[in-house]
């Protein structure tokens, strides 16, 4: 993305950050919602990076790139919303708070730090109430209730989700089929072809050997293969994607109950995001949508038209005093944000 850099007045900008394992994205906007800077870097998850400080460096790199594009520096940021994978326990939030204070002394003082699952909620309801269900590299689910109650899945998730879950279940199925403990499956030939190996033994060896084993992105790269095989009707692949959709719906139900969304009655915004759920014709999304009404009464599914980092930016705007609960204000801000986002490929995983 290229944009002419222009000087911005101090205390005029708002910062939204969405950090995951695949990438970290940052957006900077004026109070009107006009995006004037965007930055992108690597893994911002303190659990997923080689070391926590590496994740901090990546997040700050994205922030500084966005501000540089805006022709501003950290002193110009009025409010910031950090939505970070790996903020799963109070000490994780504390780690980030300490790190940001150390690296950015005297600036970014008006900031919130939450799990990245919260990023997309305002992409469905600008008032910030509802559920976000993300299926990306992994799964993330978060909710904000009508009284401001918060709940996110974090380490409560006991099922593999997202691309990692699809890949791991596919490997398990293929290996068990090779041992004669499961029926033959079209996943076997599909995975061998995808990875360019001749046998299941060679695939298992590459995934598990002590040296030069497959890295996370390489392992997860077969997720689209799994969904394609499921779409073609292979029973084993169909069960994998249906199970993931069912589990995502189950955890969304927990989120609704824990935040009072089911007690409130009425419609409940449920925003879907992430590469697995947003892929065209995603069978995981279809399975999730089939299960959702029974798990979240009143659910109104929304396939996010805005990227999650835009939701983080909306959080920053709301926390900075922009009245997004006012429909007139919210509509004007959304129009500005949508019309000034960086190209889609800039934010693609």
Tell me: do 156 and 82 sit in the same domain: no
Which residue range(s) make up the domain with 259? 127-304
Q: Find the CATH number of the domain harbouring 217.
A: 3.30.420.40
C-alpha 125/C-alpha 81 separation (Å) is 17
**CA atoms within a 13 Å half-sphere pointing along the CA-CB vector of 311:** 32
% of the chain beyond a pLDDT of 90: 91
pLDDT at 38: 98
Question: For residue 60, how many other CB atoms are within 10 A of its CB?
Answer: 22
C-alpha 347/C-alpha 27 separation (Å) is 11
Tell me: do 85 and 138 sit in the same domain: no
- 5 domain residue, yes or no: no
Give the tokens for residue 214. 């497959």
Tell me: do 257 and 310 sit in the same domain: no
pLDDT at 349: 66
Number of domains in the chain: 2
Q: Which residue stretches of the chain are H helix? A: 52-70, 90-103, 162-178, 187-195, 200-208, 216-220, 223-231, 235-258, 261-264, 275-278, 283-295, 308-319, 327-340, 344-347
pLDDT at 134: 94
State the 10-residue block means of pLDDT for the chain, 349 residues long.
45 91 95 97 96 98 97 96 97 98 95 96 95 94 96 95 97 98 98 98 98 95 97 97 98 97 91 93 96 97 90 97 95 96 85
C-alpha 294/C-alpha 330 separation (Å) is 31
Tell me: do 39 and 159 sit in the same domain: no
Tell me: do 237 and 146 sit in the same domain: yes
Question: For residue 316, how many other CB atoms are within 10 A of its CB?
Answer: 28
Tell me: do 72 and 164 sit in the same domain: no
Tell me: do 99 and 75 sit in the same domain: yes
pLDDT at 6: 47
- 174 domain residue, yes or no: yes
- 114 domain residue, yes or no: yes
Tell me: do 297 and 315 sit in the same domain: no
Q: Which residues pair with 13 in a beta bridge?
A: 77
- Tokens 């919210």 correspond to 330
- 8 domain residue, yes or no: no
pLDDT for 61-103, tens place per residue?
A: 999 999 999 999 999 999 999 999 999 999 999 999 999 999 9
What SS3 string covers 89-120? CHHHHHHHHHHHHHHCCCCCCCEEEEEHHHCC
């Amino acid at each position: 993305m290229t944009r002419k850099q222009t000087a911005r007045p101090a205390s005029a900008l708002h910062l939204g950050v969405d950090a995951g394992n695949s990438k970290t994205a940052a957006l900077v906007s004026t109070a009107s919602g006009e995006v004037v800077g965007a930055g992108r870097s690597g893994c911002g998850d303190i659990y997923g990076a080689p070391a926590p400080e590496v994740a901090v460096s990546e997040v700050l790199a994205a922030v500084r790139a966005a501000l540089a594009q805006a022709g501003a520096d950290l002193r110009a940021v009025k409010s910031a919303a950090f939505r970070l994978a790996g903020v799963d326990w109070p000490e994780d939030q504390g780690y980030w708070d300490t790190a940001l204070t150390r690296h950015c002394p005297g600036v970014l003082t008006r900031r919130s730090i939450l799990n990245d699952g919260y990023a997309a909620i305002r992409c469905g309801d600008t008032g910030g109430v509802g559920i976000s269900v993300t299926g990306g590299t992994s799964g993330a689910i978060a909710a904000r209730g009508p009284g401001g109650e918060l709940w996110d899945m974090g380490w409560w998730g006991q099922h593999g989700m997202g691309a990692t879950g699809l890949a791991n279940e596919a490997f398990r199925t293929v290996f068990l089929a090779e041992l004669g403990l499961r029926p033959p499956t079209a996943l076997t030939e599909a995975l061998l072809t995808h990875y360019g190996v001749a046998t299941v033994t060679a695939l298992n060896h590459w995934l598990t050997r002590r040296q030069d084993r497959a890295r996370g992105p390489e392992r997860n790269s077969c997720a689209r293969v799994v969904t394609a095989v499921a779409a073609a009707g292979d029973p084993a692949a169909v069960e994998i994607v249906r199970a993931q959709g069912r589990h995502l719906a189950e955890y969304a139900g927990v989120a609704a109950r824990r935040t009072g969304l089911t007690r409130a009655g009425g419609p409940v915004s449920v925003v879907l995001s992430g590469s697995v759920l947003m892929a065209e014709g995603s069978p995981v999304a279809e399975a999730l949508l089939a299960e959702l009404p029974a798990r979240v009464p009143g659910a109104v599914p929304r396939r996010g038209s805005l990227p999650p980092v835009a939701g983080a930016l909306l959080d920053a705007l709301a926390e900075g005093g922009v009245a997004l609960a006012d429909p007139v204000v919210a509509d004007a801000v959304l129009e500005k944000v949508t019309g000034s986002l960086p190209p889609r490929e800039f934010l693609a995983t």
